[in-house]
Structures are given as structure tokens and as C-alpha cells.
Amino acid sequence: MTADQEDTRAIATDHEAYNATLVRREDDSPELARFWVRYDADPVPFEAGQYMTTGVFVDGKLLQRPYSVASSPRRAADGYELYVRLVPIQRFTSALWRLPIGHRMRMIGPKGRFILEPADDRTHLFVSTGTGIAPFIAMMRTLMIDGAPRRTVLVNGVSYVHDLGYGPLLEGWQRSGEYPVTYVPTISRPRDPANAGWSGHTGRAESIVLDVCREQGLRPETTVVYICGNPDMILNTERELMDRGFPEFHVKKELYWPKGKDAGLAGVAAG
Ligand SMILES: Cc1cc2nc3c(=O)[nH]c(=O)nc-3n(C[C@H](O)[C@H](O)[C@H](O)COP(=O)(O)OP(=O)(O)OC[C@H]3O[C@@H](n4cnc5c(N)ncnc54)[C@H](O)[C@@H]3O)c2cc1C
């Protein structure tokens, strides 16, 4: 399905509950885009890693979903940056894809406890699938602005090379040393023609995470782990790490949907 061809539901352009506006949008691919949503009132403070819930009225009902904010709370005046995958069913994202810039929206938040520990000098291992990279981008942007970057290893698992959102940003930080990050993208479908020429890691995030720990010299006692995105990846990664001695309280998780809820969406990329 392409959402704008098939989703013909009525989206309300105006409603008394609307308190925000879609102010900007950048498409990375037909299925991945960044949306900036701005409150009418002053930006609400939040912590990097938290999420906003945003929506519109579709066929008379408020349809809203939570999204991790990818932008830093220190740069909120232009709206909160949300990195979103189009899920090919008629729910919220198929409506979101149809909204023109300037469309009014409902937004509430921030919410969530997937945030950094203060003054944590352990190495940060960030593991994500697809759009699950968003909160990590907010965390690193914020630490960079605060002049307090932390040594980070970031694994992002996707199906296709063109799904590696924020890749150029992270490669730039790594190359310049602007942020002490080791960026480890991995492609789960290396034989697909769309991934021809890929020479980096292959396999799902959870299948490479222990190798990455070994390569990067990450030890349980000096590493804190944050995992975000697809619930299967999160639970598998957590199991792998715990089997290798990472204590449970060194691992934080943000599940983008409940485990077992992705039946029928086999074609949708990792998270
Ligand atoms: C705390 C939190 C933060 C979130 N942050 C983001 C974010 O930053 N970016 C984002 O794209 N989504 C994010 N999500 C998921 C988001 O809320 C929606 O579920 C998603 O955009 C799909 O909305 P939908 O209404 O079209 O389909 P839904 O009815 O919400 O979901 C239908 C199915 O789509 C699949 N799905 C949901 N989200 C994704 C995804 N991101 N990638 C691949 N498959 C998916 C799952 O199988 C799910 O059961 C987050 C979810 C939570 C709980």
C-alpha cells in the first residue's frame, strides 16, 4: 500500500483539541521520514530519550501514537523532530504521511523513563532497530551541546542500506571525533539486490552484539546498555548480554510495540 493512494479516511483540518502544528517534513525514502511538530505554546521541557504522543482526528476519532523525540530538548523552538516509519496498514502513520506542512495536530508529552543516568562515565552501548535509533540521536545531540559527550557504541539494525537514518550524521561525528561514537550499522538482508555493495556488518542487531562487545572491549562492569525498537530484538539482545554477565540493572529498554504484535507485517523493516 502507498498510504496516500489508499487511505481515504477524512482527516480533520481543524479541531478544538489541536494544540500543535506540523511545521516541517523531510523524506529519507518512501517509508521513512522526519516530521517536526511544534506546540502552539512554548516548547515543553523534556529529557533526551523521552517521547511525545501526537495525532489527528481521523473519521471523527483521535488517532494518536507515541514517538521518541530525535531532537535535543536544548533546540526545541523549531518543533520536536520525530523519525517515523510508514507502516503499510490504515492506522496512524498512513494518515500522518498525508498531512501537508502547516496541518494542525494534537500533541501531549513528554513521557517516558528511557533517559540517561546523570554523570554516568560508563561506556554507553546503544542497540536499536530502524527508527529505534531516534532517542539515541537526541541523547547524543544533547550531551554534545552540554559539552559532556560519553563514549558510545551504537548498533543500528535495519533491513536495507537506505533505512540507515542518521548514518551520515553518525559517520561524520565518528570521523571528526566531534562525538566519541563508534557507529555499527548492520543489514539483515545482505543478499537483497537493494543492498548490493554493502561491506559492513550483516545480520540482525542481536546476532552481532556480542561480537561488537568483544571488538570494542566492552565489559559488563563498565558498560551501560540501552536497547530500543523491535521487541524481539530487545528481548534477544538482553538475553545475549545477560548470558555474558551484564547485570539486569545495567540494561534499559524501550519497546516500540508489544511483543508478538507484528504478525502479518513481515514485509515491514525491523523497527
Ligand atoms: C514509547 C514509544 C516510542 C515510539 N517511537 C517511535 C519512533 O520514534 N518512530 C516510529 O516510527 N515509531 C515509534 N513508535 C511506534 C509508533 O507509536 C507507532 O506504533 C507506529 O508509528 C505505527 O503506527 P500505526 O498507527 O501506523 O500502526 P500501529 O497500529 O501503531 O502498529 C501496527 C504494527 O506496526 C508495527 N510497527 C510499529 N512501529 C513500527 C516501527 N517504528 N517500525 C516498524 N514496524 C513498526 C508493529 O508490528 C505494530 O504492531 C513508538 C512506540 C512507543 C511505544
The predicted-structure confidence for 132-166, as pLDDT tens digits, reads as follows 999 999 999 999 999 999 999 999 999 999 999 89
- Cα–Cα distance between 144 and 127 in angstroms, integer? 19
Residue 190's closest CA among 180, 206, 203, 205? Answer: 203
Residue 266: its pLDDT value, please? 54
C-alpha cell at 191: 543478499
Task: Give the CA distances from residue 37 to residues 24, 75, 175, 180, in Å, rounded to whole numbers and listed in that order.
Answer: 7, 13, 31, 30
- Cα–Cα distance between 44 and 52 in angstroms, integer? 10
Asked if residues 32 and 84 have their Cβ atoms less than 8 Å apart, the reply is: yes
**Residue 265 CB–ligand 1 contact under 6 Å:** yes
Residue 262: its pLDDT value, please? 67
Residue 271: its pLDDT value, please? 63
Name 236's Cβ contacts closer than 8 Å, sequence gap at least 6: 204, 206
Angle at 208 between CA 235 and CA 134, to 5 degrees: 65
* Substitution candidate for ligand 1 out of 34, 35, 257 with most atoms within 8 A of CB: 257
**Residue 131 CB–ligand 1 contact under 6 Å:** yes
> Within 10 Å of residue 25's Cβ, how many Cβ atoms?
18
Domains contained in the chain, CATH given? 3-110 (2.40.30.10), 123-255 (3.40.50.80)
**Low-confidence residues in the chain, pLDDT < 70:** 1-5, 262-271
- Cα–Cα distance between 122 and 218 in angstroms, integer? 10
Q: Which amino acid is at 203?
A: G
Residue 175: its pLDDT value, please? 98
**Residue 134 CB–ligand 1 contact under 6 Å:** yes
The mean of the pLDDT values for the chain is 94
